[in-house]
A and B are shown apart, each in its own frame.
Chain A
């Protein structure tokens, strides 16, 4: 689950706000260079690390990620003002959206099962009897696990009456549903981008805040500053409840922040819903056992990279962003389009879609409001433009997509949803089983959302899903039902 109020995330939002402030100031490069010093001035208390110098070194790395650069191959000799200028010069964002900050990574000891000092070296030795791999020996009167034999099954852990055996955790590795994270020779975390599905779970999981997104905020601000360019924001349905005020006030606030037009992606979700309902009916008629949804970018990447056998069951319908961006581009061929996103996964989807130029997460939008000192609740309501339906506006909430499809189906009772709220190592196994069995335990429409709770639990959200849903409910109660015409 997203922990969007931890101190490392607080720090990240502060840095983004400071980068934006620097950009808006009269000396962007110099003020960017000064960010670590402004945040940890001489004599300041050192809240997290060993000394103020290390604090600043890590803040410097965080600023680089905020400027959109990878830390894996950065040039440490270059000051931040050089990076600030380089960010202005690039024409498109870097490919892989995640980066690991070496200096921030604690280099957690490799994940394994470990016997602690609590071991009494008892006579019964239930750990030894429980181990099926003969990995436990007695050394100096205590159990010791032979790492080369241990399979990590935890049987010994569960057997020990003293709770003396523990699993040493590596939060990023444990959170990754696809095994894309490993340690390099120095024990520092590395992401294998061939395996990575960009779900963002490692970003949320690392207690040191060592996995960062490469922000595109400078690229977006540069386009906003260019008065010749029309910049259009397209916001995801899950934005509701992530900031103060209602969505109509938010539209005004986003315009105040510099965007020329603001569009609800719920508009595209209506098209997705109708197309997906039709596709579902066709597939069922053809006798297929089940169909999965296709709107979650993390899930789509999971299927493409790790479970291609599932492709034939996955809906070929486009995502809400796909249809929205298509409409926006058609009406504004020369405009710069920015998707306002709850998660990092959409960055990857957007890079592959020529109709989406940039992605701005909710955290980045929040930071932009802070830097521009925009009070959303004081903004007028803007009710211009196409309104999303009740079903579309609920798309980012777990069960929302299945319910939307059901609401427009010819025979709603024929739809038996199976909901995966959070793609984990365990739920990934469920999906593998569906492929193997060619059936999904009596259901026929599998809704998959990578984040627990749906997009409202995305890695870049600002509120708890539970609280955001209250605001969402208010909006849904005043929204129109989706109608299907055919």
Chain B
């Protein structure tokens, strides 16, 4: 089964707008999914600069899906969806 890759944008904008608290996802995902999901912090993914849309920060990517105004719950839901697609 292909691994699900989660990237949390840790650029300044996303961090200030709430990504700081998404760092918990690393531990949560490890506990919940083990080796099936990998969560990493990333340098700026440039979503905020593309459109000056910092109102939608923080951004997280789950494989190639971009999540705006990301919260831990939103990201976990998307991970579940991806894992179901994989099955």
**Is the A/B pair a real complex?**
yes
| The one of B10, B15, B23, B24 that contacts A462, using a Cβ cutoff of 8 Å | B15
* B48 / chain A contacts, CB cutoff of 8 Å: 370
Contact A366 B21 (CB under 8 A): no
Q: Using an 8 Å CB-CB cutoff, how does the interface string of B1-42 with A read, 1 for contact, 0 for none?
A: 000000000111101111011011000000000000000000
Known: A244-B10, A244-B12, A374-B12. A462 touches B54 (CB 8 A): no
A369 (CB) vs chain B CBs: closest residue: B12
Residue B43 interfacial (CB < 8 Å): yes
Q: Using an 8 Å CB-CB cutoff, how does the interface string of A1-12 with B read, 1 for contact, 0 for none?
A: 000110000100
Residue B44 interfacial (CB < 8 Å): yes
Residue B55 interfacial (CB < 8 Å): yes
* A377 / chain B contacts, CB cutoff of 8 Å: 10-12, 43
Residue B65 interfacial (CB < 8 Å): no
Contact A467 B16 (CB under 8 A): no
Contact A10 B18 (CB under 8 A): yes
* B16 / chain A contacts, CB cutoff of 8 Å: 13, 243, 363, 366-367, 369-370, 462
| A interface residues, how many (CB within 8 angstroms) | 27
* B18 / chain A contacts, CB cutoff of 8 Å: 5, 10
Residue A376 interfacial (CB < 8 Å): yes
Contact A39 B55 (CB under 8 A): yes
Contact B12 A467 (CB under 8 A): no
Residue B49 interfacial (CB < 8 Å): yes
Shortest Cβ distance from residue A212 to the other chain B in the assembled complex, whole angstroms: 18
* B23 / chain A contacts, CB cutoff of 8 Å: 467
Report the 4 A-B pairs with minimum CB-CB distance, sorted nearest first.
A366-B16, A463-B20, A244-B15, A369-B12
Other than A366-B16, A463-B21, give 15 A-B pairs with Cβ distance below 8 A.
A13-B17, A14-B54, A39-B55, A242-B20, A244-B10, A369-B12, A370-B54, A375-B11, A375-B43, A376-B12, A377-B10, A378-B43, A464-B20, A464-B21, A467-B20
Q: Jot down 15 A-B pairs with beta carbons below 8 A, ordered by A.
A: A10-B17, A13-B17, A14-B17, A14-B55, A243-B15, A244-B12, A366-B16, A369-B13, A369-B16, A370-B12, A370-B17, A375-B43, A377-B12, A467-B23, A468-B20
